[in-house]
A and B are shown apart, each in its own frame.
Chain A
Amino acid sequence: MLVTVDPGSPVGLADQIAAAIRAQIAAGSLAAGDRLPPARELARGLDVNMHTVLRAFAALQSEGLVEVRRGRGAQVTESAAGLQSGQWAELVGLIEQVRRCADRLGLDELQLLDQIRRTR
């Protein structure tokens, strides 16, 4: 499982980690029943505190995407894919709309990205 974080981003590291896992569930690379890597390993790999990773896991658990159990780590739930695909499909649809709008305005990709970053 690949996770990338950007320490310079205004988005918190725990949120970035959760987002990366969410994306993989939505994309289907994480299936129901798959076990996530141990929080300790992810933390060492990303050079973050283990509790940061655990916060990400907790957030995903509260969304019903994973289940965290003592001694077994975090596991993707049965309903995860369904929960995710709905939200993900919505996001992809919105992105397509944004791109079409940007094209009409004559913005190229970099200008669009710039505008997205400025909007918070």
Chain B
Amino acid sequence: MAVNKGSNAAHMLLRLFGLTGLFVVAAGGLVWYAFHGIDHVEMMFRPEEIVQCAAYAVAGGLGAFAFALLFELPGFFGMMSSRRGAVGGSVFVQIVMALVLVGGINAFALSHFTRFDMTWDHAFTLKPELREQLANLRGDTDIVVVQRNLASGLAGGGMPDRYDIAAPKKIIEKVKDLAEQFSDFGQRFRVQVFDIQDDDFDKKVKALGAAEKKATADKNKATNRKDPEESPLADAIESSTENSIFFKANGTVQRLAFHDVYQTDKVASALAQNGQGNLVLNFQGTEPFARKILNIEEKKPRLALAVVHPALSMTSPEHEMLTMNGAKKYLEKQGFLCKDILLRKQDGDGGLSQEAAAVTFDENRFEQIEESLPSLEEHIAEGDKTYAVAKAQLEAWKTQTLAELDKTYAYLKLPNGQEGVATRKTLAELDHRKIPYKTIPVDEDDRKNEVLLYSRDSAVLERALQEYRKERDTLVKERATLNVDELAEKRRIADVEAKIKRMLADTDLLVVPRFTIFHLPSGQMIPNKVHKIDDAQLRAIKAFLKEGKPVLFLLGPTNEKRDAPPDFGGGGDDDGLEPMLAELGFRLPKQTILYNVEVKEFNERKRSIGFSERKTDVPPPLVDWDVGAGQVNKKRDAGTGANSIRVSLDLLAKSIGDKLMKDLQIRHARPVYVEADATSPGNFDEAAVFLMVGPDTWNESSPFLNEKREPPRYTPTKEGDKAKGSLDEVRRGPFPIAVAVEKTLPKSWFEENEKPATARIGVVGNGGVFVGPTLSPIKEKMLLDVCNWLLGRDDLLAKRQDTWSFPRVNLTEPEKKLWQWGTLPGLPLAFLYLGLFVWFVRRLR
């Protein structure tokens, strides 16, 4: 605006007016920004009224400014047309052009930029092959980092140590950095960070949900479809309980926990810097992260659990000691689809029958209900009849006169002293049988007694009928909820093998648990024969393996007391499952591993006869052991290379510390070996092992209190015994109790022209390791690792890759002091001295 020295007061007032207009625009804009989009506020005016007023203020202010500007224009044009003004005008244009140019450069740079990663290890750059894969991805991907500020899903209980407190902060920072690398690919990857500590966390999640629903609605409108308006990403964020990263593309959501990307290595952390400590994190690389994005529409893995009784299934939440419901809950949270296959028919009363079956939990329940309903209906019909009679008699005694009652009833006295009200029909029967009796007419006392009696009977009958009807209604309602779409078809198939094969056709992983021993000192156990499967079922399992599909066997010890518990059903002999595993190279001796500390409990049991209150804590199994541990023949090399599951668990163990590892206690396991070499009976394949029990154990063939109620004692195999030197030798631990290996199946299983398939097989020497309504975090992680490995998803297991730690500088105390005092106050003082020196010199001049 040109400066006009001769402007009068009116002109100044106009300028003031324009300036005030600008101020009003700013103030109105601020109010509009503060109140727009707000639904409700505790104020005198409604938010929409305030926003409207703000808009008016902005419009008015702009008007005032434009009005004032109008009066400046003549002066401006006058100046431009003068000689000096022409120069000024040219400069003005240059300035405007420069401003536009700089604005344009920066606006362009805002959305088109490159980051040059100069770090040694290119810590902020994705690998070229991954960049290429990501560049080829179609569609948009949402990446949401949700920060809940917990140590991890494995935090568990107990007091956190300093590593638990320090690690999450660093891990959160690292994960955010990783997510940010994807945003460099442009708008196709929308990276957001939600922090629970932010005030607007809930608001953000709600807004995300609303946006998801709106996107579906818009898509429906455009494509004329009627897809349900859902918000899977917002729902997943709301239900998450730990620090997680969510990925969403094409309506599919995948989740990754922070500890899948970074894990704290507490052992290395404590030992770092000659024991001074550091924070050591195991970085799993960008693979787990990228995998979720690249395979976002990956099919959910399907897991089937083959058990004999619904109580042992994954679905039943009842029977805390038997159910695997906790495993199901966790696996489903991890994206698995789980189902049960019940291998034995149940009686109507819930008992096990001898008949082999192949039904789902729902189908089994449906059949049970179908079996129960007719008898229930029968009870109800009979009860109705009895109730009607009782009600009629009550009515008669209540309403009829004594003369009328006398026609039907009489008071009867028998010679044996029995007496009471009887019907004339009964008297006729007594006459017929020539039994002498005396009668007197019924009176008011009899009426009173009979009314009381029939009232009570009617009430009892009514209550019983109510219960029956309620039970029937509940069962009918439950029947309607059961998924039995395939039952009718299955009923037409008589062949159990065909039924199981059909059920396993869409299964990716089969789990076969045999929970045998609950508690040795008290002798609580499920006999082996309960778990027995028939040959047809075994053939179906074999066929599953022949397809190259993985199976996890959870097989508890098969030792049994001589005074075996009552028969729960099942045949006498063992089935062919363990011989089949033997064919595959697995050795499962008929032994139970006992811990030295368990002997105390046996002794208490011996003395107390009744229940012992002691809860014996056994050490957790080992995931880190020296090469050759547990081998009987120490001279031979038993194979090298660590099992992937073991490596993952080892990293986890180092991450969560000893306290949480204790939750992995496994009592009453059996040794499980994968034969290393047929010529070396004392060796097993160590690379197949992922869990071992420690040295404070022994392998016992008779792990019960004996007839004299004496506890089992460690008695090593004597020299000369044929078991000596073999894996069956009774000895001190360690013993492998869990193995997982990829096996080429025996040639004999296939036709001559067929190529033997390979399959991944896991065997854990305890049937109850994953039993319970909930699993401890460490057991959850072990189950997930085992399932992922068996399914060939090795990249989801933690690996020993890059480690990260804080950089450290080794300085001695004197060096530290020199650096400290030299730089502060040394350096500043030196410059102050120089300044004073210059000042003095200048003064002297």
A and B bind: no
A residues apposed to B, CB below 8 Å: none
Give chain B's interface residues, CB within 8 Å of chain A: none
